[in-house]
Structure formats: C-alpha cells, structure tokens
Structure 1
Amino acid sequence: MSFDPMAAAVDWLDAYRAGNIEAILGMYADDAIVHCGCDGMKTISTPQGLRAYWVDRLKNHPASRLDDLQPSGDGAAISYISHAGVVSATLTFNASGKITSLRCGPSI
C-alpha cells in the first residue's frame, strides 16, 4: 500500500484537534523544519523546539475544524479554523511518510 499524504494531513489535524502532542510529534521526521507565520515568523528545527512549539500551539492556538484540503507537491495543503481565523498549512512528507516540513500562517 502506498503512502497517502492527504490522509496523513487529516491524521495530523485530527491529532492537533485532540491535543495529542505525542501523536503529533511522532508524525515528524527527526530533521523536520517548521516555518510558522502565526504571531510572527518562527523557524523551528530541533526536536526540543518542536515540542515547545506544539505545547504552545495546543494551549494557545487550538484547531477546530477542517476548512480545505488539497494535494501539494510531495504533501498536502490543509487549512483549518482556529480562534484567530483560518490557518493554512503545507505539509511535506518524506518517503517514509514522516513530515519533513511544515509551513503555516494565517490565510489571506
């Protein structure tokens, strides 16, 4: 069975909505990079930084429902509703199905 980035993006959002930090962190490759434009641009590139980022996201920026989902290169573009409005995220995956990059920010 081949890897489905669209399904993985939905799994990512489901784990985010559930507040399951261990499931979220388990989806990332060890060398993953996050570029987040929510509340100012942040770049995270270490496992410790990724954990701190997600602790903050889950506490201060919870996701509610899916807004849109589209294929995007080696991944998926997903948008979801948060208390601040619609957030767009592009997830890129490696051949093992792990997230190698996340780019997110408010939808325009």
Structure 2
Amino acid sequence: MSDFDQMGIVVDWVDACRRGDLATLLDLYADDAELECTCNGTERYRGRSELEIYWQPRLSTFSLAGFGLEEIHPASHGVDLEYSVAGALRIQASFRFSPDGKIRSTLCEPARQNAHHGCAC
C-alpha cells in the first residue's frame, strides 16, 4: 500500500465541499468509488457519473446553508468525520481508501443531533 495522508484527503474533501467545488471533490474519489447515504432512506452511488448526480445538488445547498467541520479522527478502516449543514443538521461520514490514495467508499448517516436543534433528516 502506498503511503498517503488519509486525514489530509478528508480535509481536502471538506474544503471542496465548503467551496462547492464539484470537480475537485470528484477527483478525490477512485474511478469506481462507492457512496452509500442513509440520511433519507438508503441511496447507493457508484462511479464518477453517479457521484456527480449525488453531490451536485448537495454542494449547492452546502454553499448556501453553510458547511461546518465538527469532528475528524482516524479509524481502523480509514477516517471518520462529522460535519454540520446550516449549523444544525449533523452528518457522520466514514471514508475508506484505495491503495493509491483515493476515496474508495463513503458511508454517510445522520449523526446524533444536538438536543436543542433536533434532527432534520
């Protein structure tokens, strides 16, 4: 396995989300990457074109509503991240990586919400 900075890749992912930079975000993923989102039912996407379909409307929302980094830490499988949208909705995302330093898979799900905000999922 190549030596690469998994945390750095996720920080780049956060930066691309904050800027609404779809091209940069997609470039962080492997060509055959998979994304599973369980925030509103279970949705699965595979490959660059499907990831683009998933991310394009969300990045617009992030840039308008605000995207915040809450927690980031290494995990046995890769990196776990918690972020917020509009300062309230909290999402947990787990990243796994390919040997060449690309995101191989992402699983996102609602995180435990702040009691005073409730869950908007």
Fold shared per TM-score above 0.5: yes
Deviation by residue 1:9-49 (Cα, 9 ceiling, x = unmatched)? 11101111110000000001011100011222100013211
Does 1:88 pair with 2:92? yes
Q: Does residue 7 of structure 2 align to residue 3 of structure 1?
A: no
Letter of the 1:100 counterpart: R
> Could you tell me the TM-score, scaled by structure 2's length?
0.81
Instruction: Determine whether 1:75 maps to 2:78.
Output: yes
Q: Any gaps of 5 or more consecutive residues in structure 2? A: 113-121
Q: Where does residue 44 of structure 2 map in the other structure?
A: 43
Cα distance in 2 for partners of 1:56, 1:40 equals 17
Deviation digits for residues 76-97 of structure 1, max 9, x if unmatched?
A: 0011111351111001111111
Percent of aligned pairs with the same residue?
34
Which one has a bigger Cα radius of gyration?
2
Which is richer in strand? 1
Aligned to 1:102, the other structure's residue is in SS state strand
> 1:57 Cα shift?
1.3
Q: How far apart, in 1, do the equivalents of 2:62 and 2:42 lie? A: 15
SS in 1 for 2:3: coil
TM-score normalized by the length of structure 1: 0.90
Native 8 Å contact 2:20 2:62 kept in 1: no
Q: Which runs of 5+ in 1 are unaligned?
A: none
Q: Who is 2:22 aligned against?
A: 21
Q: Which moved more, 1:20-29 or 1:49-58?
A: 49-58
SS at match of 1:71: strand
Report the CA distance between 1:73 and its aligned residue.
Answer: 2.3
Once the two structures are TM-superposed, the CA of residue 61 in structure 1 deviates from its matched residue by 4.6
- Does the 8 Å contact 2:18/2:62 carry over to 1? no
Q: Which moved more, 1:95-104 or 1:82-91?
A: 82-91
Inter-partner Cα distance in structure 1 for 2:71 and 2:9 = 14
2:82–2:90 contact (8 Å) kept in structure 1:
yes
Aligned-residue RMSD, C-alpha: 1.7
What is the number of residues matched between the two proteins? Answer: 108
> Aligned partners of 2:108, 2:98: CA distance in 1, in Å?
18
- Aligned equivalent of 1:104: 108
